[in-house]
Amino acid sequence: QAVCGYGSQDALPFRAIKEGELYFQEDREVNLVELALATNIPKGCAETAVRVHVSYLDGKGNLEPQGTVPSAVSTLTDDLLKYYQHVTRAVLGDDPQLMKVALQDLQTNSKISALLPYFVYVVSGVKSVSHDLEQLNRLLHIARSLIQNPFLCLGSYVRSLIASVMYCALEPLAASINPLNDHWTLRDYAAMLLSRIFWTHGDLVSGLYHQILLSLQKVLADPVRPLCSHYGAVVGLHALGWK
């Protein structure tokens, strides 16, 4: 959010702590005497100023400096672009056999590392289709293929994939309003997928183990949450193992 108030139009500097991915505003020293004796009393708020900083992750999860063209874009050839379009259309389309072939290739293709950010972004679309169990299942299938592809280095994208999977497991989806919709099976699949991501790629993100456990515990201990969310937390804990 923009920070409104009196003062200069300079952007507020942010500093990162070394222990984790946390940023905070740097507090500047203020001379109260000069401030109290100042004659130029401001009238109203100054104009809101927002400065944007953009960073990209390459196919291996490495952070690229601002101002550079991300490798995922710079190396995106016409063939890769066509592959991305064909796979997404096949998986989200109406042909089950074509979807199966696309998912299988996504799982074994060794030349699609530049497309990893794009497919992760597609999977993150679970929130926009919470009313459609079929589409949710297909997006989870994409996530599973990415996880099982031995040629992909997920890196920092693990966190995004886990967020999408946990959404399917824990959230009271719009599709769960209709009792005829079998959203329980979707939650079972998401829990299994959560366990697979954690045990195969959990070491790529520090503190991920406790973060997952706290998220599941928080939902399970919240009496306001509906039964389907409690169920998702239970099957999630069960999938992670008795330890």
- Report the sign of the C-alpha dihedral through residues 209, 213, 214, 215, in that order: positive
- Higher per-residue pLDDT: 233 or 59: 233
Task: Tell me what percent of the residues of the chain surpass a pLDDT of 90.
Answer: 43
> What is the model's pTM?
0.67
Domains of the chain: 78-240 (1.25.40.770)
User: What are the tokens at 2?
Assistant: 């923009």
Q: Which pLDDT score, from 0 to 100, does residue 3 have?
A: 52
Whether the per-residue pLDDT at 189 is higher than 50: the answer is yes
User: Computed over its alpha carbons, how large is the radius of gyration of the chain?
Assistant: 23
pLDDT over threshold 70, residue 46: no
Beta-carbon contacts of 243 under 8 Å, excluding residues fewer than 6 positions away, are none
Contact 161, 147 (CB under 8 A): yes
**50 has a pLDDT exceeding 60:** no
Q: What is the pLDDT of residues 121-141, one digit of tens each?
A: 999 988 888 888 999 999 999
Rounded distance between C-alpha atoms, residue 155 and residue 59, angstroms: 8
Tell me if 89 sits within 8 A of 127, measured CB to CB. no
Give the E-state strand segments of 112-205 in sequence order.
none
Whether 146 has a pLDDT exceeding 50, the answer reads: yes
Higher pLDDT, 45 or 99: 99
Name the band, by pLDDT with cuts 50, 70 and 90, for residue 101. Answer: very high
Which pLDDT value is given to residue 72?
A: 45
Does residue 26 surpass a pLDDT of 90? no
Q: Exposure of 123 by Cβ count < 10 A (0-12 exposed, 13-18 middle, 19+ buried)? A: buried
Residue 60 pLDDT > 70:
no
Q: How far is residue 63's CA from residue 65's CA, in Å, rounded to a whole number?
A: 7
Q: Which residue has the tokens 């991300």?
A: 70
pLDDT: which is higher, 60 or 93: 93
d(CA 222, CA 225): 6
Percent of residues in the chain assigned helix, strand, coil, to nearest 5: 55, 5, 40
List Cβ neighbours of 200 (8 Å cut-off, separation of 6 or more). 147
CA distance 189 to 196: 11
Q: How confident is the model at residue 181 (pLDDT cuts 50, 70, 90)?
A: confident
Question: What integer pLDDT is reported at residue 71 of this predicted model?
Answer: 47
Q: What is the mean pLDDT of the chain?
A: 81
| C-alpha 227 chain-centroid distance | 25
